[in-house]
Every structure is written in structure tokens, then in C-alpha cells.
Structure 1
Amino acid sequence: MNVVHKIENWGDTHHPMVLDIIRIALGIFLMLKGFAFLDNSTYLKDMIEDQSVVYIPTALLMTAVYYVIFAHLVGGVLIAMGTLTRFACIIQIPIVIAAVFMTDFFTSAINTMAWPSITALILLVIFTVIGSGPLSLDRYLSKWEVV
């Protein structure tokens, strides 16, 4: 049995019910963040442009903006419902790592914008390891699996 299967089995057997509530809250938070970016995509574009050291072509920049919006919307729904949770978390992790560095966490001692990103990053890593849990669509559908 390889390492990925061992981690998956460990995550499936060590999953308290309260983590499902946290997973659902994380999914809703990411989905709401996606709606906020969708509502004001120029803010996200300007934020990415301000952080870039090198020139980024407009087409590539807008692709990144819409990737972030799509990943937050779809990933948030998948995480909240508990289906494809590990995949959705892996898709979210690079975006949230970039968000941590964009908030200038390391340059200011007290930065209120950094803490939601850091918390989301920690939770995404945790749910990548432990999976969706008992209150999830994956668990519900596995009961109806036809052999």
C-alpha cells in the first residue's frame, strides 16, 4: 500500500464530526469569496497587477483572475458538499498561498487581512489529508454504490 492510500485510510478513520462543520464553513467562505471577486473582478485584477514584479500580459492576467473566481466558486461548493474534497482542496491551495503572500503578512506585525487566508490555508491542508468525512455527499453516495 503506498503512502497516498495510507494517508487516505488514516483520514477516513480519524475524522470527528465537528470537522465536517468546519469543512462546510470553509467551503461556504471560499464560495462567498468567489462571489465577491466575481462582483468586483477589477479589484482582483488590480491587486494582482500591484504585486507583480514583471509585466504580465493582459490576457494572462485575466485568465488568472477568472481561474481564481472559478476555483473559489466550484471548489467552495465541492468542499461544502463533501464531494471531491481532496481534489478541490488541492486546487485551492496555490491560490490561498498566493493570497497569504499578497497580504504582506511578513512585512506588518498586525495584518487583519492575512488571518483569514492563513486559516483557510491551514484548513485546506488538513482537509487534503483527512478528506470529506461522515457528513458528506461522498459518504452518502457510497451507501448507494452498485457492485
Structure 2
Amino acid sequence: MKTLLQIKIWGDHHHPKWIDYLRIALGMILIWKGIAFILNLDVLDQYLRETGIAEKLGLSISITILAHLIIILHLIGGVCIAVGLRTRLFCLFNLPALLGAVVLVNLRQNIFRPYSEFWLSLIVLLGIICFLVIGNGVIAVEEQEEEMV
């Protein structure tokens, strides 16, 4: 627990302002991917049927729960990360979905084909890990709340 507190303190004190703009862009990318996920739910259905995961967990329940969980994580997490509200918490919540996107989905495909989403997923995953450590920054809703109190 002491190590986590030291990481939090280090992240709060070593945070240049330009990184906040990357955090806002990361949040916007998560929102964009959440909306794209809503529009392409049939791809998740097809992937779960091809891999056999749907039969193991129960077809309709697994697809519905997984789809709603990913959509909620990306949309709400993207908004909160972009505005700087509980950034570390929502980065932690989005981490399993992005690990699944990188490892299960994108590595199954050819990562060197044109328009491969692997590199975007990997960059977003690295950004999530980065902001899990360094936190909000100066341009954030939580920072403004602390100044008001």
C-alpha cells in the first residue's frame, strides 16, 4: 500500500501541462471507440461465435453483458478521463477491456495489414497505463475542486 501511495504522490508532482492534452485526446479516442463499438456490435457477436466463448458462457447473456460493459466503460470512462474526473479509477476500469482488445482481438488478425487497429489499441493501452500512474494533472475537474475548497 505504501508503494501505491508513493506512485500516486510522484505522479501528482511530476506532471507537465502538455500531458493533460494527451489525456483529453485519450478520453476522446475512448468515446469514439465506444460509439464505433455500438455501431458494430455484430463484429463482437461474430467473434464470440467463432472463438467458442459464447457457447461456454451462454450465448445471449455473454454477448449482452460484455457489449454493455465495454460500451459503458468506453463512454463514461472516456468522458471522465477527458475532463479529469477520477482518472486513475477509470483507467483501471478500462484496462481489462483494452487488454482484451490488444491480446484477444487484434493479435488474432494480421497486425501489418492496412488499417489495422492493433497500433491504435496498443497506443491507447499504453496511454491508459501511463495515466493510471501519473493521474489527472493541472487541467482537470478534480484539480479545480481542490482549489475551490
TM-score (norm 1): 0.89
Distance 1:30 1:107, change over 3 A: closer
| Structure 2 residue aligned with 1:80 | 82
CA RMSD of aligned residues (A): 1.8
The gaps in structure 2 that reach 5 residues or longer are none
Identity %: 30
- Say whether 1:50 aligns with 2:50: yes
| Structure 2 residue aligned with 1:61 | 63
What residue identity is the alignment partner of 2:25?
A: A
Distance 1:104 1:27, change over 3 A: closer
What residue identity is the alignment partner of 2:18?
A: V
The 2-side partners of 1:85 and 1:11 are apart by: 12
| Structure 1 residue aligned with 2:131 | 127
What residue identity is the alignment partner of 1:72?
A: H
The gaps in structure 1 that reach 5 residues or longer are none
* The one of 116, 133, 143 aligned to 2:147: 143
Distance 1:94 1:7, change over 3 A: same
What is the Cα deviation at residue 36 of structure 1? 1.4
The 1-side partners of 2:17 and 2:85 are apart by: 16
What is the Cα deviation at residue 35 of structure 1? 1.2
What is the Cα deviation at residue 95 of structure 1? 0.2
| Structure 1 residue aligned with 2:12 | 12
Post-superposition Cα deviations, 1:14-61, rounded to whole Å, max 9, x if no partner, equal: 011111000000000001111111233223332333334572312122
The 2-side partners of 1:7 and 1:29 are apart by: 26
More helix by share: 2
Classify the secondary structure of the residue corresponding to 1:103.
helix
Contact 1:20 1:134 in 2 (8 A): yes
Distance 1:43 1:53, change over 3 A: closer
| Structure 1 residue aligned with 2:112 | 110
Contact 1:45 1:65 in 2 (8 A): no
Q: Which moved more, 1:107-116 or 1:47-56?
A: 47-56
Distance 1:115 1:51, change over 3 A: farther
What residue identity is the alignment partner of 2:144?
A: Y
TM-score (norm 2): 0.88
